[in-house]
């Protein structure tokens, strides 16, 4: 299975305050860059013009078939796209990454207490109201060991989750945790109907069963090989959203040529993309319109062996300086990606925007500098050493980036060997330590669950991070991030995370390659989908509809 | 014979999948790390860490009870997943077979009976089309007939029966194009050879009308090698269909098999393999029956010459 990694360009969200205050938390507002600090993502849009005309049916392509509709197992683009279309979370991420009320509003009477008040009138598709029991049940499913969900770790500071009123749920924490709000605005925070899930049993979310959520679109059918079909929810609890598309089919289209000809022949009406080799062809076609939105992911080289040559920070820095990132942006991303300054994509500045922008802009762009690279190699005394990069020649993007690393290594006297595995086995690098043996690093396009640079960064720099493969440990970064997690004030938190990012940008536990832009490809008569990476975690089709012209 | 084939095939395929590197859990993770506890629970649930023969026995025991198992990726019954896709592949293979038989045999017969420009051009065309693999044909057909001309859709199954036929036309041609050449060539050679036999010369010299000579003396005898090559070709289509299904995004068994083998979804691969082996055996049996019908020297139960 091809692991098309997406990079998301950062968008500075200045409308954060507006969204937190609004009762609905769901508007198709565009993002304004923060005054006084230029946005790294200027020119990218977080939303597309809202649709105005009804549309009979839309085929929305994803890179492979959706394999589950249960949010606790949603960990990849197809599942996220389907879940976020139909289901809603306790809190909600706006297109620019700002976190606001979702199905509930949040108050924090003290740093270790989160009180969620379910909005009045919020109902599931079957008309039943969302109750505190439903919320508690849905959140607890994430940590139920029998279910083996993928998100238990995000609740590791939670002491208890309890229904505390007719429409109130209280989460008590062992210590303050301001990251939990981001997770509750993402997939782990999706609310399901308890009685329905219990009745479905292990069929919930599988093709043999059904699902029960609260969104503007509801599930019509889930047929593997055909796809996931969603239709408008006639009983949607928010009257200001009127779904315009009578049927959305989320269909797996693994072959990029099939996808491209499908878009050109109107067999497919829309898709989210990144690293698309046929981007130029689609942009130049009059049948198709492409929007570029902020991405939230990073295309990076994961260093998984700190006991080899890459254990020396100067070697990592040398390799980073020698890398031709612009070449990668041009050849792999066809220009739709940013040169990195940090590990995290500037699209993830969902809060503390002016602080982040100022810090980001004061960090150097990771431009190629062969002189510095060679000098660092000399200081490290690592000339002639060998590293092995895990890659797959079947995954064109990954192979191209690995090639760029080979060229970089050659320029500085570092031998770069490539170890190629099949496209399917490539994913084993991420979960199987045996697969990583003998490999010093491998490529990834990786992202966090919500718009915060710390969301991705923490997974590979903190000691217990799920993607920290060789016990990388930098005490200063750890202190900055752990303190940030417990810090209430968004600007102070942004400052701490910025400090951590600055260190990570020189210490290079991973080597960031580029930060991909999020592309939305539409048939010329369709518009209205969210344009930023927020589509992965929050409803993206509430404004989807026809352009009104034929 | 069928049972023996199925047993041997299932064992070999299971062994191959077992030995192949990879991890079915990895396919669920989308290229990011999932919690180690989750991995452990899933591995225990699907017996992924048990020894080879134990795993094979679990699978075999289930199959003997009519249970083909559960797909790891989709968490659904394999039999349901196969049933929903089998008609797509069957339809595609049937459509392609009709094209191959009609056009392949037709071309072969006509060019076998005549010499001259038609024959030469048939030779050239078949040489070229034999060299075109199915996925190249798919790309070309999509580009010309779907994107440029818009006569046929580029992907998908279609909804009604007539819509299905329309959606399956380009894929069927893509699948048929290289096999067609072989069938045409063999037919042509076989017809040529029969035309030069003494009994044909005798019939012609006795004044029997050409049409009758062709039908009763040439074609009837040329049918055996043609049946053989057609049987082999149709049987091979069952496997080749995978490539075309992927290229046209058709919801068939072949594409599903490819994806499941890549994610090491054992139960699915075994289930589909059983279906394919059965289909292959059935086609061969049909060919044997046809021999008996065509060649009076052959009786069912004895070997065909």
Note the pTM of the prediction, 2 decimals.
0.83
Query: Which whole number is the average pLDDT over A78-97?
Result: 96
pLDDT for B31 equals 64
> Residue A427 and residue B84: Cβ atoms within 8 Å?
no
Candidates A1, A5, A466; nearest CB to B35: A466
Q: Which residues of A touch B21 (CB under 8 A)?
A: 421, 425, 428, 435
Query: Which whole number is the average pLDDT over A421-449?
Result: 88
DSSP bridge pairs for A271: A61, A521
The residue length of chain B stands at 305
Between CA A269 and CA A275, with CA A270 as vertex, the angle to 5 degrees is 135
H-only helix segments in A201-303: 256-264, 279-283
Q: Are A415 and A366 in contact (CB under 8 A)?
A: no
Crossing angle (nearest 10°) for helices B266-294 and B2-19:
150
- Collapsing DSSP states into helix, strand and coil, what is residue B137? helix
Q: Which residues of A touch B252 (CB under 8 A)?
A: 225
Sort B239 into a burial class: Cβ within 10 Å, 0-12 / 13-18 / 19+.
middle
Nearest-angstrom CA–CA distance, B104 and B98: 9
What confidence category does residue A45 fall into, taking pLDDT thresholds of 50, 70 and 90?
very high
> Residue A206 and residue B75: Cβ atoms within 8 Å?
yes
Nearest-angstrom CA–CA distance, A192 and A217: 14
What confidence category does residue A3 fall into, taking pLDDT thresholds of 50, 70 and 90?
very low
Query: Which whole number is the average pLDDT over B240-253?
Result: 88
User: Could you tell me the CA-to-CA distances from B56 to A301, B47, B53, B62, B257 in Å, in that order?
Assistant: 39, 10, 5, 10, 19
pLDDT tens for B135-188 read: 899 889 988 998 888 888 888 887 788 888 899 999 999 999 988 999 999 999
What confidence category does residue B29 fall into, taking pLDDT thresholds of 50, 70 and 90?
low
Nearest-angstrom CA–CA distance, A405 and A393: 14
What confidence category does residue A388 fall into, taking pLDDT thresholds of 50, 70 and 90?
very high
pLDDT tens for B56-74 read: 888 888 888 888 888 887 8
Q: Are A412 and A385 in contact (CB under 8 A)?
A: no
> Chain B residue closest to A448 (CA)?
B32
Nearest-angstrom CA–CA distance, B286 and B276: 15
pLDDT for B27 equals 66
Whether residue A43 has pLDDT greater than 90:
no
Nearest-angstrom CA–CA distance, A82 and A227: 10
Query: Which whole number is the average pLDDT over A478-501?
Result: 96
* 3 state SS for A405-462: HHHHHHHHCCEEEEEECCHHHHCHHHHCHHHHCCCCEEEEEEECCCCCHHHHHHHHHC
Nearest-angstrom CA–CA distance, A349 and A357: 8
Interacting residues of B7 by C-beta distance below 8 A, sequence separation 6+: none
Nearest to B109 by CA among B207, B205, B201, B225: B225
Nearest-angstrom CA–CA distance, A31 and A45: 7
Q: Which residues of A touch B245 (CB under 8 A)?
A: none
Closest-CA distance of chain A to residue B202, Å = 57
Whether residue B303 has pLDDT greater than 70:
no
Q: Which residues of A touch B248 (CB under 8 A)?
A: 258
In the stretch 185-224 of chain A, residues with CB closer than 8 A to chain B read: 202, 205-208, 223-224
Q: Which residues of A touch B147 (CB under 8 A)?
A: 261, 264-265
pLDDT for A539 equals 97
What confidence category does residue B21 fall into, taking pLDDT thresholds of 50, 70 and 90?
low
pLDDT tens for A501-523 read: 999 999 999 999 999 999 999 99
**Cβ neighbours, 10 Å, residue A423:** 16
Candidates A206, A267, A431; nearest CB to B155: A267
Nearest-angstrom CA–CA distance, A481 and A500: 7
Q: Are A485 and A494 in contact (CB under 8 A)?
A: no
Q: Which residues of B touch A286 (CB under 8 A)?
A: none
Nearest to A197 by CA among A136, A250, A151, A248: A136
- Collapsing DSSP states into helix, strand and coil, what is residue B265? coil
DSSP bridge pairs for A115: A107, A170
Q: With pLDDT > 90 as the criterion, what percentage of chain A qualifies?
A: 82
pLDDT for B35 equals 74
Nearest-angstrom CA–CA distance, A262 and A123: 37
Whether residue A525 has pLDDT greater than 90:
yes
What confidence category does residue A108 fall into, taking pLDDT thresholds of 50, 70 and 90?
very high
Structure tokens at A71: 């949010």
pLDDT for A547 equals 93
Interacting residues of B66 by C-beta distance below 8 A, sequence separation 6+: none
Whether residue A6 has pLDDT greater than 60:
no
* Out of A357-361, A383-387, B232-236, least confident range: B232-236
> Chain A residue closest to B154 (CA)?
A262
Q: Which residues of A touch B251 (CB under 8 A)?
A: 225-226
Whether residue A14 has pLDDT greater than 70:
no
> Residue A152 and residue B142: Cβ atoms within 8 Å?
no
In the stretch 5-24 of chain A, residues with CB closer than 8 A to chain B read: 5
Nearest-angstrom CA–CA distance, B228 and A413: 61
Q: What is the ipTM, given to two decimal places?
A: 0.72
Nearest to B140 by CA among A49, B131, B262: B131
Closest-CA distance of chain A to residue B255, Å = 9
pLDDT tens for A275-317 read: 999 999 999 999 999 999 999 999 999 999 999 999 999 999 9
pLDDT for B30 equals 64
Pairs of residues, one from chain A and one from chain B, whose beta carbons lie less than 8 Å apart: 161
Query: Which whole number is the average pLDDT over B69-96?
Result: 88
Nearest-angstrom CA–CA distance, A185 and A299: 24
Q: Which residues of A touch B29 (CB under 8 A)?
A: 75-76, 150, 427, 430-431
Looking at the complex, does the CB of residue A146 fall below 8 Å from at least one CB of chain B? yes
pLDDT tens for A140-164 read: 999 998 888 899 999 999 999 999 9
Nearest-angstrom CA–CA distance, B283 and B272: 17
Q: Are B35 and B13 in contact (CB under 8 A)?
A: no
Structure tokens at B274: 């059983």
In the stretch 238-297 of chain A, residues with CB closer than 8 A to chain B read: 251-255, 257-258, 261-262, 264-265, 267-268
Whether residue A462 has pLDDT greater than 90:
yes
What confidence category does residue A233 fall into, taking pLDDT thresholds of 50, 70 and 90?
very high
> Residue B28 and residue A261: Cβ atoms within 8 Å?
no
Structure tokens at A402: 């690995």
Interface test with chain A among B28, B29, B32, by most A beta carbons within 10 Å: B32
pLDDT for B199 equals 83
Find the distance separating the first CA and the last CA of chain A, reported in whole Å.
37
Q: With pLDDT > 90 as the criterion, what percentage of chain B qualifies?
A: 11
> Residue A261 and residue B154: Cβ atoms within 8 Å?
yes
> Residue B22 and residue A424: Cβ atoms within 8 Å?
yes
> Chain A residue closest to B34 (CA)?
A150
Strands A270-273 and A518-523, sheet pairing: antiparallel
> Chain B residue closest to A443 (CA)?
B31
Q: With pLDDT > 70 as the criterion, what percentage of chain B qualifies?
A: 95
Sort A291 into a burial class: Cβ within 10 Å, 0-12 / 13-18 / 19+.
buried
């Amino acid at each position: 299975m091809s692991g098309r990694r997406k990079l998301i360009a950062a968008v500075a969200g200045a409308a954060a305050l507006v969204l937190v205050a609004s009762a609905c938390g769901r508007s198709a507002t565009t993002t304004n860059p923060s005054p006084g600090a230029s946005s790294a993502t200027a020119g990218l849009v977080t939303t597309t013009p809202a649709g105005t005309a009804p549309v009979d049916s839309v085929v929305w392509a994803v890179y492979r078939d959706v394999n589950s509709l249960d949010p606790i197992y949603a960990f990849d683009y197809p599942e996220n796209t389907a879940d976020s279309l139909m289901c809603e979370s306790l809190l909600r991420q706006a297109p620019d990454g700002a976190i606001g009320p979702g199905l509930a509003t949040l108050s924090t009477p003290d740093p270790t207490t989160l009180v969620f008040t379910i909005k009045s009138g919020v109902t599931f598709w079957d008309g039943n109201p969302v109750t505190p029991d439903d919320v508690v049940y849905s959140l607890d499913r994430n940590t139920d060991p029998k279910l083996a969900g993928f998100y238990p770790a995000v609740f590791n500071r939670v002491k208890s989750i309890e229904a505390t009123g007719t429409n109130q749920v209280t989460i008590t924490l062992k210590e303050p945790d301001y990251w939990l709000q981001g997770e509750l605005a993402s997939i782990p925070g999706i609310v399901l109907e308890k009685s329905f899930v219990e009745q479905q049993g292990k069929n919930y979310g599988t093709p043999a069963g059904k699902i029960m959520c609260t969104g503007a679109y509801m599930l019509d059918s889930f047929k593997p090989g055909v796809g996931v079909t969603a239709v408008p929810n006639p009983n949607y609890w928010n009257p200001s959203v009127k779904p315009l598309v009578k049927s959305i089919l989320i269909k797996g289209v693994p072959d990029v040529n099939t996808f491209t000809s499908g878009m050109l022949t109107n067999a497919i009406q829309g898709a989210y993309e990144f690293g698309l080799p046929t981007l130029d062809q689609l942009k130049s076609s009059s049948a198709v319109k492409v929007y570029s939105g902020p991405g939230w992911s990073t295309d990076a080289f994961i260093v998984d062996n700190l006991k080899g040559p890459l254990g020396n920070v100067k070697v990592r820095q040398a390799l980073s300086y020698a890398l031709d990132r612009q070449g990668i942006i041009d050849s792999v991303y066809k220009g739709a990606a940013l040169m990195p300054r940090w590990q995290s994509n500037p699209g993830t500045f969902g809060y503390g925007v002016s602080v982040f922008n100022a810090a980001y802009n004061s960090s150097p762009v990771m431009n190629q500098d062969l002189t510095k690279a060679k000098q660092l190699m000399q200081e490290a005394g690592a000339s002639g050493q060998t590293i092995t990069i895990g890659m797959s020649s079947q995954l064109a993007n990954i192979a191209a980036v690995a090639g760029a690393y080979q060229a970089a290594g050659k320029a500085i006297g570092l031998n770069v060997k490539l170890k190629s595995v099949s496209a399917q086995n490539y994913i084993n690098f991420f979960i199987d330590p045996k697969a990583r043996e003998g490999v010093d690093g491998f490529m990834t396009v990786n992202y966090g669950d919500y718009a915060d640079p710390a969301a991705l960064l923490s997974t590979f720099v903190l000691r217990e991070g799920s993607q920290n493969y060789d016990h990388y440990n930098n005490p200063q970064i750890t202190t900055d991030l752990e303190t940030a997690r417990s810090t209430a004030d968004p600007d102070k938190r942004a400052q701490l995370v910025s400090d951590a990012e600055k260190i990570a940008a020189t210490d290079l536990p991973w080597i960031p390659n580029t930060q991909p832009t999020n592309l939305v490809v539409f048939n010329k008569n369709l518009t209205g989908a969210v344009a930023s990476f927020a589509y992965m975690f929050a409803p993206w089709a509430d404004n989807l509809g026809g352009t009104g012209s034929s | 014979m069928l049972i023996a084939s199925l047993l041997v095939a299932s064992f070999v395929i299971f062994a191959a999948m077992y030995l192949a590197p990879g991890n079915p859990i990895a396919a669920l993770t989308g290229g990011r790390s999932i919690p180690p506890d989750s991995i452990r629970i899933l591995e225990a649930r699907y017996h992924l860490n048990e020894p080879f023969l134990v795993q094979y026995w679990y699978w075999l025991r289930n199959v003997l009870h009519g249970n083909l198992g559960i797909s790891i990726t989709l968490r659904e019954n394999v039999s349901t997943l196969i049933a929903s896709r089998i008609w797509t592949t069957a339809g595609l293979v049937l459509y392609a077979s009709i094209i191959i038989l009609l056009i392949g045999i037709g071309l072969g017969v006509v060019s076998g009976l005549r010499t001259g420009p038609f024959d030469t051009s048939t030779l050239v065309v078949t040489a070229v089309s034999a060299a075109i693999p199915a996925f190249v044909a798919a790309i070309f057909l999509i580009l010309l007939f779907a994107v440029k001309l818009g006569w046929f859709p580029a992907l998908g199954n279609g909804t009604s029966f007539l819509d299905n036929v329309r959606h399956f036309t380009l894929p069927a041609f893509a699948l048929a194009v290289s096999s067609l050449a072989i069938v045409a060539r063999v037919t042509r050679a076989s017809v040529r050879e029969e035309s030069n036999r003494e009994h044909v010369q005798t019939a012609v010299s006795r004044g029997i009308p050409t049409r009758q000579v062709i039908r009763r003396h040439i074609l009837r005898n040329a049918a055996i090698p043609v049946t053989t090559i057609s049987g082999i070709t149709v049987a091979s289509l069952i496997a080749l269909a995978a490539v075309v299904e992927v290229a046209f995004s058709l919801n068939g068994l072949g594409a599903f098999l490819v994806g499941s083998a890549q994610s090491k979804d054992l139960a699915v691969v075994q289930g589909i393999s059983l279906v394919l082996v059965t289909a292959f055996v059935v086609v061969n049996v049909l060919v044997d029956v046809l021999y008996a019908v065509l060649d009076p020297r052959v009786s069912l139960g004895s070997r065909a010459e």
